[in-house]
C-alpha cells in the first residue's frame, strides 16, 4: 500500500546543523533499563526502531564521568574509551537503516548518589540527593576549578561521542540535572559570575554548548535538551529568559516541560499532545529546529504538529516503544496496523526498577536481541496444525494474533459475549479508557485473518475441548479477585468475610452501585483500588481508602501515577488512612490494626471492599491435566495455560505470555541469550 499524500510532510528530510534527518520521526532519548550493562540488547532495540522508520534514534542519558552515576539505574556511558565500542554497536545498527544516531551526554549532579563509583557528585550547590532512592547524601558545591573540570568532562565525552559515530550530540540541561540547576534560581544561589542574573545563570550552559560545538563542529549536530514551565506564562525561575540568551547556539532544541508528571504523564491523567502550547512558545523564540514529545499516536495529531508550526519533528519515546514500526506503517498507508501506546507507563516502571524495559502493547520490546523477537516478523507455522485458545483476554487475544500471523488454524473461544477479558471492565473505570487499545488493536488484526475463527458466548468445558479437532490447546481463562482479604497483609481470611456487605471487585466492575459508605482495604497497591474509589465517588458513594502501607497506591510510584492519584483521590473527597491492616468486619464496623503498634481501630461502614490478590481460574486446566490419558486419542494433544490463569499479574505480563506461547509453539527452544558487556 502507498502512503496517503496527506502525510507527506512527516517524511520530509530535515537539516540539523551539518547532518540531515531522513524524515521527521525522532525517537528522543529514553531509558531502557539496559544502558552500559546490556549493550547488545540495547543496540538491537535501537536498531529495530531505525528499521521501523524513525529518522533519528537516540540513546538514554549517557554518563560523561564516574561522578555522574545513578546505579542501580543502568544508563548509557561514555565515561572512558572502553564505552565507545559498546555504543558503536548501537550507532552501527542505527546507521544500517539510514537513521541518525543521537547521544544524550549527561551529568547528574545532586541526583547522582554515585553508589557504584563512590565518587563525590558535583552541583551548583550542596544539595541533598532526591533521586537515587533518596540516599542520605549531598553534592559538593562546585568551585571554579570544579567548573573547569566539568567542562573538560563534557569536551572529552563529546570526543568519544564522535569516535562512537554519533550524528547528534546532546548537551543535557533539564530534568533537575546539573546544567538545569545552574539555570534554576531555586538551586542556584551563587554570588559568583555563575549566579544571580539570567546571563550569569546561563553562563555554564553557554560555555558547555560552545565547548561541545568546538569539538563536533562540521561532523555532528549539537542538540540541547531544555525544559520550560508547562504554563509558560508563569515562569518564576526565568527559564524562558535564559533560553533567549542561548536560543541560536545549538543546531536543535529538544524541549520538555519542567514537570515530569506531565512530560511523562500516564493516560489516566495526561492526554496526547498535552505540552504543545509551551513548545509552540519556544519555537517562536528560535530559528533552530525544535523537537518535543506528546505521546503522539494519531498520525493526524502528528501532522498537526508540523502544519501548525508547533515543532519540526514528531518526538516520541512511548509511541516508538509500543510500535517501533509506526513511521513505516504511516509510510505504507497501514494506519490501522499502528499499535497505539495505552499510556500505562509500564515501560517507565521497568526503567525505574532498573530492569530491561517492557511494554504492555509490544511484547517484543526488550526481547529483540535476547530472544531474537522482531516486532513485525514471526516464524511461519511449523506444521499445518490447529490451535484452540480458550479465553479472549489480553493473553488469549495476543496468542491468537501471533499464532494467526504464523499461519496456524486458530479457534478462539470466549465465554462472554464481549471479547477482551479484564480489559472490558477495567477500561470503563475513570481514566482507563485507553487500556481498551490492548483489546481493540488485536481485534482489528484478527478481523483480517481468515485462518482465525472467533467464537464469543462460548464457555468451553473439558469434554468439549477434548472432543475438539485441534493439535494444541492453550488455556487463557484469567483470574478473579479474592474478597476474603488474603494477600500481602493477611495470610488468612478475615473474620466476617462471608457477609453480603463484603463486596467483590467484579461485582463493582459489573455495575453494582452501592449506596452509603464503602471502605476499600487496598492491599494491591496499584491502580485498581484508586480507580474504583474514583468510580464510586462519581456515583456519589462516600469512600474511605485504607492501606496497610504508608501510602495508598504505592506501586504506582513506578508508573509516575502516585502523585496524580493522590491528588485525584483528595480532590474527589476520598478519605485516606494508611498503615492500617484489615482485621475483621463485624456489625457494620470494619476493624483495623495499626501495622506498627497493633493498636485496634474501627470504621462504621455500609460496605467493605477488600482488594488483595487474585485466584487463577485454573479449574479447566486442572481437570484437563488430570485427563491427559485421553489426549492420545486426539493425536497427542499439547496443552498449556498462559496469563492470569497460570499466575495472575499485570496486563503486560498476560500479553507477553500470550506472545511467548505463540512464538514458541513448535519451536525446539526459546533461543534466549544472556547479554554481557563487550570487552
Ligand atoms: P488474561 O489477563 O490472562 O488474558 P482475563 O481474565 O483478562 O485473563 O481473560 C480471561 C478470559 O477467559 C475472560 O474473558 C473469560 O471470560 C474467559 N474464560 C474463562 N473461562 C472460560 C471458558 N471455560 N471458556 C471460554 N472462555 C473462558
Ligand atoms: Fe505505552 Fe504502556 Fe507500552 Fe509504555 S508500556 S509504551 S505507556 S503501552
Which residues surround ligand 1 with Cβ inside 6 Å?
390-396, 413-416, 421-422, 459-460, 476-479, 617, 620, 643-645, 654
pLDDT at 264: 84
**% pLDDT > 70, the chain:** 98
**% pLDDT > 90, the chain:** 92
Residue nearest ligand 2's atom 1 by CA:
341
pLDDT at 275: 84
- State how far the alpha carbon of 674 is from the alpha carbons of 406, 590, 637, in Å: 26, 50, 32
pLDDT at 679: 46
- More confident: 134 or 88: 88
Residue found under cell 482488594 = 611
Question: Of 87-91, 97-101, 279-283, 521-525, which range is least confident?
Answer: 279-283
109 vs 125: CA distance, rounded Å: 9
Residue nearest ligand 2's atom 2 by CA:
344
pLDDT at 258: 83
- β-strands 472-475, 386-390 pairing: parallel
421 CA → ligand 1 middle, Å? 6
Q: What are the phi and psi torsion angles at 237 (to 5°)?
A: -90, 0
Residue found under cell 459475549 = 417
pTM of the prediction? 0.96
433 CA → ligand 2 middle, Å? 14
3-state SS, residue 566? helix
347 vs 89: CA distance, rounded Å: 23
- State how far the alpha carbon of 390 is from the alpha carbons of 44, 396, 410, 413, in Å: 34, 7, 11, 5
Mean pLDDT score, 199-222: 98
Q: Which three cell numbers mark 30?
A: 529514553
pLDDT for residue 394 is more than 90: yes
561 vs 569: CA distance, rounded Å: 12
Q: Which ligand is nearest to the CA of 293?
A: 2
362 vs 484: CA distance, rounded Å: 34
Question: Mean pLDDT in the chain?
Answer: 95
Mind telling me the catalytic residues?
177
pLDDT for residue 448 is more than 90: yes
pLDDT for residue 670 is more than 80: no
- The set of residues, in sequence order, having a beta carbon less than 8 Å from that of 663 and lying 6+ positions away, is 371, 373, 378, 379, 402
Q: Which ligand is nearest to the CA of 654?
A: 1
pLDDT for residue 620 is more than 60: yes
Residue of 31, 33, 344, 352 to mutate, ligand 2, most atoms within 8 A of C-beta? 344
pLDDT in tens, 242-266: 999 999 999 999 999 888 788 889 9
pLDDT for residue 540 is more than 60: yes
pLDDT at 48: 98
Amino acid at each position: 500500500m502507498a502512503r496517503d499524500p496527506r502525510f507527506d510532510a512527516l517524511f520530509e528530510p530535515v537539516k540539523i546543523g551539518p547532518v540531515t534527518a531522513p524524515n521527521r520521526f525522532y525517537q528522543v532519548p529514553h531509558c531502557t533499563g539496559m544502558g552500559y550493562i546490556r549493550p547488545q540488547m540495547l543496540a538491537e532495540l535501537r536498531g529495530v526502531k531505525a528499521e521501523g522508520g524513525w529518522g533519528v534514534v537516540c540513546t538514554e542519558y549517557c554518563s560523561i564521568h564516574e561522578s555522574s552515576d545513578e546505579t542501580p539505574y543502568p544508563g548509557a556511558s561514555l565515561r572512558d574509551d572502553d564505552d565507545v565500542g559498546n555504543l558503536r554497536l548501537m550507532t552501527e545498527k542505527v546507521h544500517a537503516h539510514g537513521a541518525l544516531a543521537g547521544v544524550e551526554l549527561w551529568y547528574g549532579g545532586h541526583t547522582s548518589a554515585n553508589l557504584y563509583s563512590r565518587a563525590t557528585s558535583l552541583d551548583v550547590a550542596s544539595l541533598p540527593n532526591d533521586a537515587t532512592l533518596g540516599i542520605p547524601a549531598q553534592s559538593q558545591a562546585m568551585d571554579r576549578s570544579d567548573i573547569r573540570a566539568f567542562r573538560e568532562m563534557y569536551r572529552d565525552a563529546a570526543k568519544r561521542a564522535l569516535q562512537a559515530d554519533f550524528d547528534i550530540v546532546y548537551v543535557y540541561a533539564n530534568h533537575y540535572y546539573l546544567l538545569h540547576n545552574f539555570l534554576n534560581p531555586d538551586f542556584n544561589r551563587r554570588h559568583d559570575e555563575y549566579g544571580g542574573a539570567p546571563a550569569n545563570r546561563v553562563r555554564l550552559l553557554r560555555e558547555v554548548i560552545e565547548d561541545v560545538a568546538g569539538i563536533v563542529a562540521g561532523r555532528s549536530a549539537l542538540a540541547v535538551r531544555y525544559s520550560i514551565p508547562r504554563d509558560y506564562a508563569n515562569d518564576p525561575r526565568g527559564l524562558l529568559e535564559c533560553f533567549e540568551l542561548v536560543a541560536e547556539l545549538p543546531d536543535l532544541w529538544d524541549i520538555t516541560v519542567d514537570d515530569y508528571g506531565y512530560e511523562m504523564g500516564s493516560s489516566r491523567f495526561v492526554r496526547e499532545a498535552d505540552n504543545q502550547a509551551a513548545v509552540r512558545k519556544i519555537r517562536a523564540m528560535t530559528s533552530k529546529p525544535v523537537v518535543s514529545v506528546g505521546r503522539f499516536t494519531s498520525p493526524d495529531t502528528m501532522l498537526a504538529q508540523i502544519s501548525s508550526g508547533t515543532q519540526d519533528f514528531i518526538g516520541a519515546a512511548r509511541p516508538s516503544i509500543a510500535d517501533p514500526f509506526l513511521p513505516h506503517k504511516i509510510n505504507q498507508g497501514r494506519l490501522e496496523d499502528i499499535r497505539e501506546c495505552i499510556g500505562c507507563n509500564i515501560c517507565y516502571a521497568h526503567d525505574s526498577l532498573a530492569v530491561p524495559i517492557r511494554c504492555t502493547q509490544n511484547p517484543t520490546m526488550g526481547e529483540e536481541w535476547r530472544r531474537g523477537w522482531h516486532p513485525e516478523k514471526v516464524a511461519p507455522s511449523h506444521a499445518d496444525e490447529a490451535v484452540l485458545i480458550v479465553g479472549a483476554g489480553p493473553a488469549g487475544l495476543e496468542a491468537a494474533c501471533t499464532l494467526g500471523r504464523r499461519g496456524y488454524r486458530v479457534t478462539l473461544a470466549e465465554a462472554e459475549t464481549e471479547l477482551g477479558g479484564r480489559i472490558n471492565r477495567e477500561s470503563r473505570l475513570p481514566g482507563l479508557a485507553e487500556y481498551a487499545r490492548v483489546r481493540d488493536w488485536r481485534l482489528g488484526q484478527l478481523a483480517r485473518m481468515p485462518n482465525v475463527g472467533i467464537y464469543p458466548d462460548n464457555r468451553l468445558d473439558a469434554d468439549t475441548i477434548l472432543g475438539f479437532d485441534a493439535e494444541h490447546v492453550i488455556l487463557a481463562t484469567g483470574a478473579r479477585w479474592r474478597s476474603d482479604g488474603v494477600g500481602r497483609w493477611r495470610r488468612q481470611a478475615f473474620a466476617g468475610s462471608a457477609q453480603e456487605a463484603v463486596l467483590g471487585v467484579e461485582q463493582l466492575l459489573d455495575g453494582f452501585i452501592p449506596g452509603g459508605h464503602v471502605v476499600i482495604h487496598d492491599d494491591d497497591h496499584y491502580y485498581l483500588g484508586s480507580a474504583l474509589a474514583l468510580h464510586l465517588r462519581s456515583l456519589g458513594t462516600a469512600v474511605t481508602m485504607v492501606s496497610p502501607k504508608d501510602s495508598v497506591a504505592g506501586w504506582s510510584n513506578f508508573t509516575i501515577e502516585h502523585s496524580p492519584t493522590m491528588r485525584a483521590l483528595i480532590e474527589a473527597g476520598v478519605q485516606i488512612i494508611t498503615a492500617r491492616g484489615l482485621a475483621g468486619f463485624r456489625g457494620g464496623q470494619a476493624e483495623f490494626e495499626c501495622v506498627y503498634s497493633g493498636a485496634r481501630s474501627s470504621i462504621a461502614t455500609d460496605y467493605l471492599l477488600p482488594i488483595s490478590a487474585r485466584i487463577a481460574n485454573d479449574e479447566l486446566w486442572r481437570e484437563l491435566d488430570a485427563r491427559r490419558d485421553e489426549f492420545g486419542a486426539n493425536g497427542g494433544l499439547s496443552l498449556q495455560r498462559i496469563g492470569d490463569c497460570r499466575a495472575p499479574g499485570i496486563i503486560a505480563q498476560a500479553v507477553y505470555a500470550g506472545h511467548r506461547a505463540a512464538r514458541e509453539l513448535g519451536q525446539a527452544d526459546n533461543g534466549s541469550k544472556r547479554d554481557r558487556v563487550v570487552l
